[in-house]
Amino acid sequence: MSRLLIQNGTIVTGDDQFAADVFVIGEKIHAIGPELGRRFAVPPDELVDATGCYVFPGGIDAHTHMELPLKTTTSSDTFASGTGAALIGGTTTILDFANQIPGKTLKSAVKDWHAKANGKALCDYGFHVSVTDFNERTRREIAECVDEGITSFKTFMAYKGALMIDDRQMLEIMEEVKIQKGLVLTHAENGDLIDHLVEKFRKAGSLSPKFHPLSRPVIAEAEACSRIIDLARFADCPLYIVHLSSQSGLQRLAPALETGTEQRRSGKSEKPRAPIIAETCPQYLLLDDSVYSQRGFEGAKYVLSPPLRKASDQKHLWAGLGSGMIKVVATDHCAFTSAQRRLGVKDFSKIPNGVPGVEHRMELLYSEGVHKGRLSLQQFVNITSTNPARIFGLHPQKGAIHAGADADLVVFDPNEEHVISSKTHHMNCDYSVYEGVPVTGACRMTILRGKVVVRRGKLLAPAGYGKYLPRQKFEY
């Protein structure tokens, strides 16, 4: 088995940081401690000098869409290209969404996603399954998914006629997922309200990209957040709200997020209530809705749902991360090229939704979060790695630096400056929504299960190196 020694770095975990070496044998961390090099008679096969660098646990991006088929097109990053970009940016694990096709089974969705990823993904991966057509057969399949290590179930309160389910179906899914010890993930936007506004704009001939955010106002998210908490509380089912975008949404969630923590901490209740967890994305922390007024069709690059909000919303999302109310930053990576965007050149509602971002999550969060004083190093590690590992049943194998864990590590230079550009990124997309954004801090090396898979921006992972990760049940 290969032996790798990382020397002279500062190890950062979710609750600590200290100067130490990391010794890796095969795929696992073998030992952590000072001057480990002296303890071994035979020198390691590979020596990494991490002087001046942090050593972080590999990033976990809990929300991606590789090769996602929509009605008219498919998201442009494949499992090969998207996971390569992830590794370059320090993300060693992704959780992608296997979407049920209405009329078909969850099993067939999972089978399709295995076929896309198996032998092609370069980073490790697991799946959530999106339940878009709930019926008795689907109910029975939930237990089967959990047995196969797919323990999180995505539901949509928007996209009526395609992905959306109604409140009764939502409740029934929650009841079953609770029994099977899984987690419900929800896209919280009021689909009827949105459909009504889209129709109104179309009838009025208001068809340019700037009408996309106007058709999905903040109230659509806020209302759906309120409703979904009530449903989850009623069913006593653990709930994870994906891609929270606004201050109003956070305000509606806040009592549920805080109560959950306090109750568990105080130990007042014999059996804690099912937790409610929130995720946001770099685009909501760093971009705002002024981009939609760019000339011509330029605003189409930023069409995603929920849409970008006001600059003032960003402050509240950062504060939510700082206070621990928002536990995870994932990307909702869903790339479409400029040519694909043009499917909606005559009608904003036909622009494929989503932005690319899997490559830049760690560096952007470090630069805008830690470097600018909004987050501590521990918060950064929790938000990008340890929390998603715990929530999605990958801990302590992933998201941690300790003997016995997978050797998924990022050697990170906190001082290296660079500028994000589509000319240098590795995602399969001809533009970047972060074009020209200056970043302080860079991934110098990414190690996945003991293998150096990226060195100074160069991808070294062998084809198909990524491994499927069955996940544990949701414990609370």
Nearer to Zn ion, 188 or 232 (CB): 188
CB 185 within 8 A of CB 128: yes
Nearest distance from residue 321's CB to Zn ion, in Å?
Answer: 19
From CA 350, how far away is CA 332, in angstroms rounded?
Answer: 19
CB 60 within 8 A of CB 398: yes
67 scored as a contact of Zn ion (CB under 5 A): no
Nearest residue relative to Zn ion (C-beta): 332
Q: Which of 419, 373, 311, 394 is nearest to 57 (CA)?
A: 394
Nearer to Zn ion, 189 or 332 (CB): 332
Binding region for Zn ion (CB under 5 A) out of 164-172, 205-213, 329-337, 391-399: 329-337
279 scored as a contact of Zn ion (CB under 5 A): no
From CA 335, how far away is CA 76, in angstroms rounded?
Answer: 5
Nearest distance from residue 231's CB to Zn ion, in Å?
Answer: 20
**252 token code pair:** 């509606």
Binding region for Zn ion (CB under 5 A) out of 134-142, 332-340, 400-408, 464-472: 332-340
What strands lie across the sheet with 326-329, from one edge to the other? 59-64, 91-99, 124-130, 152-156, 183-187, 239-241, 276-280, 326-329
Nearest distance from residue 63's CB to Zn ion, in Å?
Answer: 6
Nearer to Zn ion, 351 or 405 (CB): 351
363 scored as a contact of Zn ion (CB under 5 A): no
Q: Any idea which residue has 């904003």 for tokens?
A: 348
Contacting residue, 223, 279, 289, 332, with Zn ion by CB under 5 A: 332
Nearer to Zn ion, 281 or 394 (CB): 281
Nearer to Zn ion, 154 or 395 (CB): 154
Size of the site for Zn ion (CB under 5 A): 1
Nearer to Zn ion, 66 or 461 (CB): 66
Nearest distance from residue 153's CB to Zn ion, in Å?
Answer: 14
CB 161 within 8 A of CB 199: no
CB 332 within 8 A of CB 242: yes
Nearest distance from residue 443's CB to Zn ion, in Å?
Answer: 24
Q: Which of 11, 84, 62, 4 is nearest to 381 (CA)?
A: 11
CA 339 to chain centre: 25
Nearest distance from residue 332's CB to Zn ion, in Å?
Answer: 4
172 scored as a contact of Zn ion (CB under 5 A): no
Binding region for Zn ion (CB under 5 A) out of 29-37, 249-257, 261-269, 328-336: 328-336
Binding region for Zn ion (CB under 5 A) out of 117-125, 215-223, 226-234, 330-338: 330-338
From CA 388, how far away is CA 169, in angstroms rounded?
Answer: 26
CB 209 within 8 A of CB 171: no
Nearest distance from residue 135's CB to Zn ion, in Å?
Answer: 23
Start-end of H helices in 26-78 = none
Nearer to Zn ion, 10 or 340 (CB): 340
176 scored as a contact of Zn ion (CB under 5 A): no
Nearest distance from residue 263's CB to Zn ion, in Å?
Answer: 29
Distances in Å between the Cα of 367 and the Cα atoms of 19, 21, 187, 417, 421 are 22, 25, 28, 9, 16
Nearest distance from residue 336's CB to Zn ion, in Å?
Answer: 13
Nearest distance from residue 281's CB to Zn ion, in Å?
Answer: 9
61 scored as a contact of Zn ion (CB under 5 A): no
Nearer to Zn ion, 95 or 405 (CB): 95
Distances in Å between the Cα of 355 and the Cα atoms of 133, 211, 302, 408, 462 are 26, 17, 7, 26, 27
Nearer to Zn ion, 125 or 412 (CB): 125
Binding region for Zn ion (CB under 5 A) out of 36-44, 109-117, 283-291, 324-332: 324-332
Nearest distance from residue 24's CB to Zn ion, in Å?
Answer: 33
189 scored as a contact of Zn ion (CB under 5 A): no
Read off the amino acid at residue 247. Q
CB 240 within 8 A of CB 279: yes
Residue 379's φ and ψ, nearest 5 degrees, are -60, -40
Q: Any idea which residue has 């059996």 for tokens?
A: 271
Nearer to Zn ion, 248 or 331 (CB): 331
Nearer to Zn ion, 55 or 158 (CB): 158
Binding region for Zn ion (CB under 5 A) out of 50-58, 288-296, 325-333, 381-389: 325-333
From CA 261, how far away is CA 218, in angstroms rounded?
Answer: 26
Binding site for Zn ion (CB under 5 A): 332
